[in-house]
Amino acid sequence: MLPVANLHLKDLYDTTVEFFALRSPTFAFRAFTSDYTDSSGPSTPRDLSPGPDHARLAKDGTSLRERLDAAGVGRVHCPSSCSCRYLGPSSTANSTIYSMSRRELDAAKNELSRSQTEVAKLDDRCKILEKTLSETRDMLRTRDAEIEWLKKEREKLLSGHCSRSMVERAVPGDRRRSQESTHSRHSSGQAQDLSMQWIENQGMMNTSPTNGYHAKKNGEERSSFSSTTEEERAQAKSLETFLTKSDLWSGAQVIQTVQDLNSEILQFAASATELCTFVKHPRVANPKPTQATNETTTRLGPTFCRILSTRDHTQDPMLVQLALQGCISICISRALSTFCLGYQSKTNTILAQIYSRMIQEEPQPMSSRWRALTHKHIHGLHPELEDYISNELTETIFRWSLDVFLISGSSNPQTVPSSRENFKSRFGAQVRRIAKAVYKLAQVTREEIMSTNFEVIAVESGKAFDAQEVVDAFEDYGTSKGAVLCTTELGLRCSTRKSPNETGKPEGEGCIERRCLLRPKVVLESVVEVLDPR
């Protein structure tokens, strides 16, 4: 039993020695050297293997090591098309570096794209600012020229008044001196006698009590002259204040206010149209006109009303949105065409006629000052006008908008009061904001602008299209043709009375110069073909 056990232990130990010999050649060499150098002692179990087995193990280890080295080199230099999983440390590092470089390149490209977009935006903004700066410089030059002209006119007025008064006082003395010189020339023979008589008379006048009367009279004339000069100076000063052309708002600010108002109208029309739902109209040959149809016809014209009432808006309610913009634009334009927004109609008509005549007959600063003072004092007498204007405009916009929805076949909002109240509560804040913007625009153009007269314009339905005066809202989608359906964005125009010196005409024949600062945007009859090209 013991030899068998020893045999198994020997085989196991030999296998272990082979393992360590292959992994650590130094260890194997030291172990076998120590065992076989001690030849004096008896043989013990520490003799693990004989000499021939050790040589074989060394040879096998060398062969195995060569095979492992060959296999390692083959794996390291494995081609890229190989399907083996081992890529080696260098290939893994290269792959990692390539991935990182690719990510950095993508990030750099994205950053470059964003930078290019920002540069384009800044370029556009720079162009807009340069244009605004140029307009401001032109306006300042015009303003300076007007100031210089006013100064010259004031100097002419002052010099004219002073010269007339001096001439009136100097004329009697000049006449007397001219008569005396003429008499002396025609009566040269009697000159000495007359001179002697004059000396005697002068001596008598010096001793006469009437001498004090003449001195007193001369003093009164001098005091009267000084008081007259002071009155003329005060009158010229008040005239200068009344004829000033200083504006509290610039033209660019007024244009921006109108553009902001157009944006508010567009937002309300788009939001209201998106919220509403529509049903398909039944095809009726001659539909019976309703009150809403008749009233909307007076605002948008019969052509647009017929399109709204016969077209299917369930898929694309764009025409309804345009109709809303047109109704609100016409409402605001008509309100701002009055002399005082929200005032009594008869009084407004009279004031507008007076102001129109003053524009034709009086200088621009004088008519503008009268307009500003009249408008200011009307609101001073009726401070409740601001709230009245806001409420009245809000109700009018809601009523006109609901009429458009009704003739377009809207199922929500409906004609029932509850549906209308829900609609008003939903868009009440937006519409009130529009009304307040209109009131502010009216106050600015009436009271704070002296150099010109601003007019908010909208084109009525049915007028012929003129590219010089209006802009087609859909000009990028086709040829502009047909008459005007409605105005979607308000425009701005100014009119200024030029003096005869500026126009070169005779005195009293000044002319009215009109300029369109912002062209209104309109929708033409061809919009139906653009929205429905069938």
pLDDT of residue 213: 46
Residues 182-196 have a mean pLDDT of: 47
What percent of the chain lies above the pLDDT cut of 90? 36
**What is the pLDDT confidence band of residue 227, given thresholds at 50, 70 and 90?**
low
Q: What is 467-499 written as a DSSP string?
A: TTT-EETTGGGS---S-EEEEEE-EEEEEEEEP
Q: Which residue has the higher pLDDT, 129 or 158?
A: 129
**What is the pLDDT confidence band of residue 40, given thresholds at 50, 70 and 90?**
very low
pLDDT of residue 395: 95
Q: How far is CA 87 from the centre of its chain?
A: 62
Residue 455 has pLDDT above 80, yes or no: yes
Residues 151-162 have a mean pLDDT of: 75
Residue 225 has pLDDT above 60, yes or no: no
User: Among 509, 491, 502, which Cα is nearest to 454's?
Assistant: 491
Residue 175 has pLDDT above 50, yes or no: no
pLDDT of residue 486: 94
- Per residue in 358-394, pLDDT (tens digit) is 998 888 889 999 999 999 999 999 999 999 999 999 9
Q: φ, ψ for residue 509 (rounded to 5)?
A: -120, 50
Give the integer Cα–Cα distance in Å for 365 and 497: 9
Residue ranges of domains in the chain: 2-36+47-73, 251-531
Give the integer Cα–Cα distance in Å for 91 and 399: 77
pLDDT of residue 97: 85
**What is the pLDDT confidence band of residue 90, given thresholds at 50, 70 and 90?**
low
- Per residue in 10-28, pLDDT (tens digit) is 444 455 555 555 555 544 4
Q: Which residue has the higher pLDDT, 324 or 505?
A: 324
Name the amino acid, one letter, at 162.
Answer: C
pLDDT of residue 253: 93
Q: Which two tokens stand for residue 335?
A: 């309100």
- Per residue in 230-243, pLDDT (tens digit) is 666 666 555 555 55
Give the integer Cα–Cα distance in Å for 506 and 514: 20
Give yes or no for a contact between 469 and 516, defined as CB atoms under 8 angstroms apart: yes
pLDDT of residue 232: 64
- Per residue in 464-511, pLDDT (tens digit) is 999 899 999 988 887 788 899 999 999 999 999 887 666 555 554 558
- Per residue in 286-313, pLDDT (tens digit) is 455 588 889 999 999 999 999 998 888 8
Q: Which residue has the higher pLDDT, 22 or 65?
A: 65
- pTM surpassing 0.85? no
Q: Which residue has the higher pLDDT, 355 or 284?
A: 355
Q: Which residue has the higher pLDDT, 297 or 282?
A: 297
Residues 443-455 have a mean pLDDT of: 92
Give the integer Cα–Cα distance in Å for 353 and 449: 20
pLDDT of residue 197: 53
